[in-house]
Amino acid sequence: MGNLRRCESRWLVHRQLTLAGMAVALVACGVDTKEAEERFGAARQALVTLSASDDSYAHESNPSSNYGAATSLYLKTDAGAARYAYLKFNLSGVSGVTSARLKVYGSASSTTTLSAYQTTDSWTELALNWTNKPAVGGVVGSVPIGTTAKYNEIDVTSYVSTEASGDGTVSFVLQESVGKYTTLNSSENASNPPQLEITASGTGGGDTQAPTAPANVTASAASSSQINLSWSAATDNVGVTGYDLYRDGTFLKSVSGTSTSDSGLAAATTYSYSVRARDAAGNVSSPSNTVSATTSSGGTASCSNALSTTAAIQSAMQNAAPGATLLIAPGTYTGSKSTGGDPGGQGLFYSGKSGTASSPIVLKSCDPSNPATLRGSAVNDGSYGIHLTGDYWQIRDLIITQAQKGIMIDNGNHNVLSNLEVHLIGDEGVHFRDGSSYNTLEHSRIYDTGNYQAAYGEGAYVGSDASASYEHVVIGNVIRYTNFDGDITAEHIDIKEGADGTLVEYCTFNGTGISGENSADSFVDVKGVNTVIRYNEGYRNGNALVLDAFQVRTHGSGYATGVNNSFSHNTVNLDGSAGYVVYATSAAQGTTASDDVRIGGGNLYNSNVNK
C-alpha cells in the first residue's frame, strides 16, 4: 500500500484530475489498477470545484441599483431595506452528483442563520436589481454564521443534482434569518470567492474545448495613472464566462465584460497587456495579442473632456463602471432631487454603482486648483449633496454645499473622500451610515453645519443612533488630516454605538459654534468600541459650551458601546476651564489615555480613564 499512499497524496494535491487522468496518475505511481479500484471504488468519482459565473446582490432600498461589480455580497432581513445575494454556476459536463457543497466566505455582525434558496437562472450579475430579481423558491440548505470570517458550507446536493440533470445551470438566493448585517466575498474579490464543490461520477466527459483567444485588444492612456483596455469577444462551444487580464505577463484581474481600466499606475510608464478567455468548465484560451500603452507624464490636468453640466455629472455617476474616472470642469453645478437618480429621492448627485479594489471609480475636479462646486438649493429640503450606496469610490477635489446633508454613504465600503470642502449644510457634513465600513475621510475641510437643525449638525457622523432602523455595525472607518473649522453646531465627530475600530488622527478642531444642543459639548463623542484617537489638536476658542475635548459614554444595550477606546498624543486648549481632555462615564469600560497635552494646564483625565 506504500505506492498507493504516495499516490493518494498526489491525488489530494491534484484533486480536480479527470477520471482518466486519475488512472494515469495511479499507474505512474506503480499502483495496480485492481488495487486502485478497490481503494477508490468502482465508480471512480471525482471532485470538481466551480467558480460562480455570476454573482450579485439586490437592495430593496435601492430597487434599480445593480451591484454586479461589487467585491462583497450583502445580506440582511430588514423590512423595506432587505438585501438578498444571488449566485449562479454552470454545471456543463457534470452528472451523477453524489455531493454538492456551496461555500461562501464571510461573517455576520452577530450570530444568524445563512440559508440558500432555489431560484431561476433568468438573471445576470450586471443586470440584476431589486425590481427585476427572480423569485425566491424553496429552501435548499442552511448553516449558522457568526462574527468570524470563514468559509461557510451549505449542503446543496439534492438541488444541484436535479439542476445538473436539467438545464445544466444552478442559481441560488442567499438570505440571513434575523436581521443581522452579513457580508460575503463575491467572485470579484481577490481572495476567497464563492465556490461550488461537487463530487460526481460524470465530470470527465464534459466540455473540454477552450474558447478562442480574444482579438483586437487595445490599450490607451486615460491619465498619468490609468490605462483603458478593450477587446473583441471570444467564442466558445458552450459559452465564455469571463476574461483574465495580464499586465507585463503577470495576472492582474478577472472581468466579465470586454473592457476594463487599470488604475493606480505610475506616470510616464509603459505597461503591456494580454487577455485570456475562460469558460465555465475552466478551459482557458491561448493569450491574445500583446499591446502596450504609456501613461501620461502628469502635471496640469486637462479639462478638455471634463463633465460640464449638472445632467452630465448625474448621468456619469449613475452609470459609472469600475475603473472610470469622472472629471468635472470648474464651475458651480446645482443638483436636483428629481433628476439625481436616487431611488430614495434624496441625492442631488447619486450613484449605486461600485468600483473594485483594483479599479475604483474616481469622481474629481479636473483642475484641483479650481475645484468644481456641487450644490443644492436649500438646507432644509431633505437633500443629500452626494449620496453613495456603492463601494470603492474616490471622491476628490470638490466643494459640496447648500444641502440638508453633505455627503451620505449608505451601505458603502472602501470609499475615499479626499481634499473636499463641505460647508453651508443643514444637518451633518459627512455620514458613514447603514453598515458603511472601511471608508476614509482625509485632507478635507468641514465647517458651517447645522444650519437647519443645530442638534444634528455634526461635522462627521459614524454609524447611527440605536433607535434608528439602519444597520448599526460599521467597522474600520478612518478620519484623518481633516480640519473641522468652526461653526459646526454639534460634535465635530460623533462615533455611535455599534461603530468598531474607528480611527481619528491628525485632525484639527475649532470649537467656535458648538451649540450644546442634544448634549453637543465636546469635539468628539465616542459611544463605539475599539476607537483610536491620536495626534489631533483641539481649541475651545472661548466657547463655554465646550466642556471636554473628548468624551466616552455608552448608549443602549443592543450594540457594542463604550468599550476599549484609546486616546494619545492629542493637544488641546480648553481655556483653563474645569473640563477634561478625556472624560469617560462610569459605564464606559477600558478607556485608556496617554501622552496628551493640555495647553495652559488643567485637568487631563477623569477617574474613569486608565492612564
- To the question of pTM greater than 0.75 for the whole model, the response is no
Over residues 86-100, the mean pLDDT reads 88
Of 21 and 490, which is predicted with more confidence? Answer: 490
Sheet with 54-59: strands ordered across? 54-59, 83-90, 169-176, 112-118, 139-145
Of 479 and 238, which is predicted with more confidence? Answer: 479
CA 98, 104, 109, 115: dihedral to nearest 10 degrees? Answer: -40
Compute φ and ψ for 508, nearest 5 degrees. -125, 135
| CA dist., res. 477 & res. 197, Å (int) | 35
Assess whether pLDDT exceeds 50 at residue 9. no
pLDDT band at 179 (very low <50, low <70, confident <90, very high): confident
The confidence score (pLDDT) of residue 24 equals 37
The per-residue pLDDT for range 120-145, each reduced to its tens digit, is: 999 998 899 999 999 999 999 999 99
State the average pLDDT for the chain: 87
Range of the domain at 438: 426-598
**Structural domain includes residue 205:** no
CATH label of the domain that carries residue 248: 2.60.40.10
Assess whether pLDDT exceeds 50 at residue 116. yes
The confidence score (pLDDT) of residue 206 equals 58
Are residues 577 and 487 part of one domain? yes
In contact, 45 and 187? CB cutoff 8 Å: no
Are residues 219 and 150 part of one domain? no
Are residues 444 and 547 part of one domain? yes
Are residues 128 and 269 part of one domain? no
| CA dist., res. 67 & res. 64, Å (int) | 10
User: Does residue 293 sit in helix, strand or coil?
Assistant: strand
**Structural domain includes residue 288:** yes
Assess whether pLDDT exceeds 80 at residue 440. yes
**Structural domain includes residue 66:** yes
**Structural domain includes residue 483:** yes
The confidence score (pLDDT) of residue 10 equals 29
Burial bucket for residue 79 (CB in 10 Å: 0-12, 13-18, 19+): exposed
Residue where the block lists cell 482557458: 284
Assess whether pLDDT exceeds 60 at residue 38. no
Are residues 261 and 126 part of one domain? no
Over residues 447-460, the mean pLDDT reads 95
| CA dist., res. 224 & res. 108, Å (int) | 40
pLDDT band at 40 (very low <50, low <70, confident <90, very high): very low
Over residues 585-601, the mean pLDDT reads 95
Over residues 156-184, the mean pLDDT reads 90
Over residues 568-590, the mean pLDDT reads 95
Are residues 457 and 480 part of one domain? yes
The confidence score (pLDDT) of residue 459 equals 97
Neighbours of 304 (CB within 10 A): 8
**Structural domain includes residue 389:** no
pLDDT band at 606 (very low <50, low <70, confident <90, very high): very high
The confidence score (pLDDT) of residue 496 equals 97
The per-residue pLDDT for range 375-418, each reduced to its tens digit, is: 999 999 999 999 999 999 999 999 999 999 999 999 999 999 99
Assess whether pLDDT exceeds 80 at residue 61. no
Assess whether pLDDT exceeds 90 at residue 46. no
Assess whether pLDDT exceeds 60 at residue 27. no
Are residues 455 and 523 part of one domain? yes
Q: Which amino acid is at 430?
A: V
Assess whether pLDDT exceeds 70 at residue 112. yes
The per-residue pLDDT for range 473-524, each reduced to its tens digit, is: 999 999 999 999 999 999 999 999 999 999 999 999 999 999 999 889 999 9
Are residues 59 and 17 part of one domain? no
Are residues 171 and 264 part of one domain? no
Using H for helix, E for strand and C for coil, what is the string for 534-571? ECCEEECCCCCCCCEEEEECCCCCCCCCCECCEEECCE
Of 5 and 38, which is predicted with more confidence? Answer: 38
Domain boundary among 248, 273, 294: 294
User: Does residue 159 sit in helix, strand or coil?
Assistant: helix
The CA radius of gyration of the chain, in Å to the nearest whole number, is: 27
**Structural domain includes residue 321:** no
Domain boundary among 137, 167, 200: 200
Are residues 34 and 104 part of one domain? no
Are residues 563 and 450 part of one domain? yes
- DSSP strand pairing (416-418 vs 440-442): parallel
**Structural domain includes residue 420:** no
Assess whether pLDDT exceeds 80 at residue 49. yes
Burial bucket for residue 308 (CB in 10 Å: 0-12, 13-18, 19+): middle
Q: Which of 203, 195, 201, 172 is nearest to 98 (CA)?
A: 201
The domain total for the chain is 4
pLDDT band at 81 (very low <50, low <70, confident <90, very high): confident
Over residues 529-536, the mean pLDDT reads 96
In contact, 526 and 496? CB cutoff 8 Å: no
Assess whether pLDDT exceeds 80 at residue 43. no
Residue where the block lists cell 491534484: 14
Domain boundary among 247, 270, 294: 294
The confidence score (pLDDT) of residue 19 equals 37
Can you name the residues that pair with 484 across neighbouring β-strands? 446, 509
| CA dist., res. 33 & res. 38, Å (int) | 9
Are residues 486 and 594 part of one domain? yes
The confidence score (pLDDT) of residue 42 equals 38
Per-residue CA distances from 435 to 75, 241, 444, 456, 547 (Å) = 11, 31, 23, 20, 31
Over residues 64-82, the mean pLDDT reads 84
CATH label of the domain that carries residue 127: 2.60.120
pLDDT band at 22 (very low <50, low <70, confident <90, very high): very low
Assess whether pLDDT exceeds 70 at residue 331. yes
Assess whether pLDDT exceeds 70 at residue 30. no
Assess whether pLDDT exceeds 50 at residue 21. no
Helix (H) or strand (E) run with residue 7 in it? helix 2-13
**Structural domain includes residue 507:** yes
